[in-house]
Amino acid sequence: QVFISVTSVLDMSVFKDQLVLEDLVEDMKKQSTDLSFGPLQSNGQIIVQGSFPAFQVLTDFLLQKAESLSEKDNTEESKSHQRLRRRQLQEHKSTTETRNSVCEAHGGEKQVVVLDTDVYHYMKHFLPHLFQGKDGVVISDVTDGDITTVSVGNAAGAHAGLVSSVRKELEDWSLKLHSSLRKERMSFKEHSGDEKHRYQQACEGLKAHYPQVLVTPYDTHIEVIGPSSDIFKLSKEVSR
């Protein structure tokens, strides 16, 4: 499985004055069944993940929705809001990972990075220093299925701009790994207990030969993620 998905944070608040956002999200889910939708946040934002073609379908749907709403209100103010909605939706169309910067109640800066969960686990294992925080920066994460949201916070004493620097480093590594990593799942569903044990032993034995591959065992399968060439070779050796 090559990473060809998009993870984006859509700001649906642009529709809140004319539509019930919960109903709009339900329409989006019906329109784009190939996309995964996170929960709608109180600020109108929602995390969406899926393929580029599926995002194109969703974008076209939202643009048509915005156009239909504008036809109901021809005032200059309405037209201004409509242009704003179109610009925001067009920006989401080309976004692969969107960040949202907010201020916490106590005034500390907080920025968010949305990561593919598999890439997140890979980064956490091989690049742990990215998540350790430094000089007053606090990093936390929340995983929801295929999406992990990493929050980079500005605690007391952090230098100005350091939060943005840490967030950018996380994003840069995420984008780099998205284009180079490959994931493979080895299922045990059709294998006996002995075969399952053999798969597990084979993967463990090959770890030393493929130091850039992350092997994660589960009850029903094993997942391996790493450089495409390594995953291809490892899969062939395990299946012998």
Q: What is the spatial distance between Cα 66 and Cα 192, in angstroms, rounded to a whole number?
A: 55
Nearest Cα neighbor of 170 from 223, 129, 231, 216 is 129
The domain limits of the chain are 5-93, 100-180, 181-238
User: Is it true that 100-180 and 181-238 share their CATH fold?
Assistant: yes
Average pLDDT across each block of 10 residues of the chain; the chain has 240 residues. List them in order.
61 83 90 86 82 78 79 51 50 40 46 82 93 82 82 72 85 83 77 71 81 85 87 80
pLDDT in tens, 53-95: 787 788 888 888 877 776 665 444 444 455 545 544 544 443 4
Q: How many helices (H) and strands (E) does the chain have?
A: 7, 10
Could you list the beta-strand ranges (E) of the chain: 5-11, 36-37, 45-51, 100-103, 109-116, 137-144, 147-154, 181-187, 214-217, 221-227
With tokens 């925001």, the residue in question is 88
Q: Into which CATH architecture does domain 100-180 fall?
A: 2-Layer Sandwich (3.30)
Q: pTM for the whole thing?
A: 0.56
Q: Into which CATH architecture does domain 181-238 fall?
A: 2-Layer Sandwich (3.30)
